[in-house]
Structure 1
Amino acid sequence: MAQFYSAKQRVTTKQRITVTISELDPFGQGVARHNGKALFVSGALPGEQAEVTVTEDKRQFMRAKAHRILQPCAQRETPRCGHFGVCGGCQQQHAAVALQQASKAQALSRMLSQEGAPPVSVDTIISGQPWGYRRRARLGLQWQPRQQRLLMGFRQAASNDLVALRQCPILVPELEALLQPLHQCLSSLNAVRRLGHVELVLADNGPLMVLRHLDALSAADREKLERFSHEHRLMTWLADGSDSLQPLQEAMPFYRSFDLQLTFSPQDFIQVNDAVNQQMVAQALAWLDLQPDDRVLDLFCGMGNFTLPIGKFVQNVVGVEGVAALVRQAEYNAQLNNLRNVCFFQHNLEEEVSRQPWAAQGFNKVLLDPARAGAAGVMSHVVKLAPERVVYVSCNPVTLARDSQTLLSAGYHLERVAMLDMFPHTSHLESMVLFSKT
């Protein structure tokens, strides 16, 4: 008689324990110790005693969710957004802004410090208004056939499902005010079942929208969108999946920086937090100590966020960027602002750079602003240039710490560190570091 083995189902119970939180990590999780392991607790803050439910128990760490706060700390705040805890956009609205900034600065200091060397301190925290700061947002659109309704919102935490967004207090007020009327407009379209996403941006000359649609829009739908755009003074582009956007009206968005007018396409990357961006650019220029005879290299330059302001103060500045469309926009803005000492090159900076026409020029100062992957492919070339000063702007402290080793090994000194509070209430940790060679 054949016997079949039937494995017993593993029964897991979610352990509930009481712990005291010692610190806040940069992702907004409280940190405690339990059974010799680090325990990361979502929803708990330093100094709090909390009853928590363990959700994950690994060999070296544990994760848990706060079930009940027994002793709340003075830096706990009531979240402003009704979607907090469900929406994946913010992780730290329950913590005072000062606590958020301090925890990120401590994490940055820890990641940049080396064993056996004095700890690296964060000199400056560059920040702006903690609410109403976000001038760009991409909202998902999803038709729900059972409820016969259109969902519009950000993704839920750890999910592909959308939050039905009613408010968003981190959006600039001009964009937050559009949320409900825009949802009503899109819900009335014949193509409501075949919409992809919508992107909202606030330029200095008004708000703009890019609507991604999966099928061709009818004349009636276009008319509704045109009427909505006119009523709300909204620059609108339609995106059907091709490489180009179709404008509903002739308009060119722009923003101002250092008395320069910088135009951009709705598809171009611009910094989300304008106030912090302005301060960041000013601080970078001050750290570079720009002089009239300087020759500056700006790597990963985008559409010239740093390059063009630098051009106002130096003999020559060269920007290098991998995205051709951004290079074209940067060149246009240099001409628009009559900056004839600025030039741009398109090159993938993850590839060999030594034979590039710009690479052999005698630069005495360098700025880098890479994406999350960092600048590993170009750091050795920066060292060969032997600039007096290097300013590294980072959106990922892990790759910043890695790339810093190349400069430190080549005799550079880490002079200044700034934490950029570009995204309050979120886990994003951005920074800027000055290196000098003596």
Structure 2
Amino acid sequence: MAQFYSAKRRVTTRQIITVTVNDLDPFGQGVARHNGKALFIAGALPGEQAEVTVTEDKRNFAQAVVKRRLSDSSERVAPRCRHFGVCGGCQQQHASVELQQQAKSRALARMMGTRDAPREVDEIIADNPWGYRRRARLSLNFHLKSQTLQMGFRKASDKELVNIHQCPVLAPQLEALLEPLRQCLSELKAVRRLGHVELVLADSGPLMVLRHLSPLENGDRQKLEQFSQTTGVALFLAPDSETLEAPGNVAPWYHSDGLRLSFSPRDFIQVNDAVNQQMVARAIDWLDIQPTDRVLDLFCGMGNFTLPLAKRAASVVGVEGVAALVAKGEYNARHNSLKNVTFFHENLEEDVTRHPWAALGFDKILLDPARAGAPGVMQHVINLAPQRVVYVSCNPTTLARDSEALLSAGYQIRRLAMLDMFPHTGHLESMALFERI
């Protein structure tokens, strides 16, 4: 009997092998060696032996999933969240916090040094690994089949929504709002036309921003305002990406280094308040701010570092690319009676040498760029020849790249810290102190 090829009957054989895991990467994947290259295994921990299925085989590395664990690491712990493994928010709840921190520190050391001579991480700046998130954006979707509102985060594997009922990394005050908020939103007539809801815990109290895709009827507004009053949550409504309505006329604020900082719910603030406070204190300490110092803060945002620096230095200049954050920094400087700080709105990806502030002399410089790093200003930082530079990074790859410019110009890394800003996730944040030789 003749057989003909059919694309529909094509079968791809996935190889099953037994390996011993010897490392953990920053993203929570176990690392083993197979056929002379790294094999990354989701859910496996160092010291564990497992049968794994190879799912992707590239020239320089391979990916695999665990088919059966043959042994358990002493660092394996029970995840606190019942959604772990499905929800894409956390990747490492199965590993002890100590192991997570060690893995991230080793990865940072490798990136900041060479293969043969990793740069030692001097300290780990951390706090409570649970209940640390003071901000979360929850997607909303009305499920037609079940006629219910889904509220949660995206899956680890695809864009599908995970309908969460708990989130132990959320600040307890925000986690406690999940069920009553779901109930309130489910009762709205506009339930099918909701985009997302953002929860933020400020020192002034919790707040929520509701993105709705069509105008709200008066009845829906009344239900939301009643929820706001009953729970003590300040309500903000977002009919589009630019507009923000505050029926209660509330101005949220939080404390940093003894300063009271006002912000808009859409302004960037650090998610982990406890680690942020330590980070600001460490930056001030590393820079060794003196009363006569002139300090430059690049990518300054609304003044997270700028304003605490201004409490100690002779003068501080903050430069930021988002005009709204510059305005908020200026407001907070006035509100806290800081008259020695000046903010500028500039695109730091362009040539900065033509701007008035760029010609000033500075003793110390702090940089806190986004994930893309600060390649556009590194040469200018070098030309300003500050005595010390602190670089705060949310991407170790760009930190390592930008560091090369400072090292080539005669600076040395004096301190290197891993910031455990997002426990149980693959985010690796850090800060480094450079000093001119």
1:23-74 CA-to-partner distances (Å, cap 9, x unmatched) read: 0000100000112121100010000011112111112211111122111010
Secondary structure (helix, strand or coil) at the match of 2:78 reads coil
1:55 corresponding residue in structure 2 = 55
How many Å separate the matches in 2 of 1:10 and 1:362? 68
1:397-408 map, 5 Å: 397-408=396-407
What percent identity do the matched residue pairs reach?
A: 67
Q: CA deviation at 1:5?
A: 9.0
1:18 corresponding residue in structure 2 = 18
How many Å separate the matches in 2 of 1:238 and 1:421? 33
How many Å separate the matches in 2 of 1:391 and 1:176? 35
1:411-430 map, 5 Å: 411-430=410-429
Amino acid at match of 1:62: A
CA contact (8 A) 2:253 2:260 kept: yes
How many Å separate the matches in 1 of 2:289 and 2:35? 54
TM-score, normalization by structure 2? 0.98
How many Å separate the matches in 1 of 2:237 and 2:147? 24
Give structure 1 stretches of 5+ with no counterpart: none
Q: CA deviation at 1:119?
A: 2.7
1:292-318 CA-to-partner distances (Å, cap 9, x unmatched) read: 000000000000000000000000000
1:95-131 CA-to-partner distances (Å, cap 9, x unmatched) read: 0000000000000000010367x43100010000000
2:179 corresponding residue in structure 1 = 180
Secondary structure (helix, strand or coil) at the match of 1:314 reads coil
Q: CA deviation at 1:6?
A: 6.5
How many Å separate the matches in 1 of 2:368 and 2:8? 54
Give structure 2 stretches of 5+ with no counterpart: none
How many Å separate the matches in 2 of 1:6 and 1:145? 37
Amino acid at match of 1:403: D
Q: CA deviation at 1:243?
A: 1.8
| Worse-superposed segment, 393-402 or 158-167 | 158-167
Matched, 1:81 2:89: no
1:357 corresponding residue in structure 2 = 356
Secondary structure (helix, strand or coil) at the match of 1:73 reads coil
1:95 corresponding residue in structure 2 = 95
2:46 corresponding residue in structure 1 = 46
CA contact (8 A) 2:19 2:52 kept: yes
How many residues get paired?
Answer: 434
Secondary structure (helix, strand or coil) at the match of 2:103 reads helix
2:315 corresponding residue in structure 1 = 316
Matched, 1:227 2:226: yes
1:289-328 map, 5 Å: 289-328=288-327
| Aligned CA distance change for structure 1 residues 13 and 6 (closer, same or farther; 3 Å) | closer
How many Å separate the matches in 1 of 2:9 and 2:146? 36
1:150-195 CA-to-partner distances (Å, cap 9, x unmatched) read: 1100111131111001000000000000001000100100000000
How many Å separate the matches in 2 of 1:283 and 1:6? 64
Secondary structure (helix, strand or coil) at the match of 1:358 reads helix
1:244-301 CA-to-partner distances (Å, cap 9, x unmatched) read: 2000202111110111000100010000000000000000000000000000000000
Amino acid at match of 1:81: C
1:188-337 map, 5 Å: 188-337=187-336
Secondary structure (helix, strand or coil) at the match of 1:154 reads strand
1:358-416 CA-to-partner distances (Å, cap 9, x unmatched) read: 10010111000000000001101000000000000000000000000000010000111
TM-score, normalization by structure 1? 0.97
| Aligned CA distance change for structure 1 residues 74 and 5 (closer, same or farther; 3 Å) | closer
1:64 corresponding residue in structure 2 = 64
How many Å separate the matches in 1 of 2:244 and 2:381? 37
1:111 corresponding residue in structure 2 = 111
Q: CA deviation at 1:8?
A: 7.9
Matched, 1:395 2:391: no
1:34 corresponding residue in structure 2 = 34
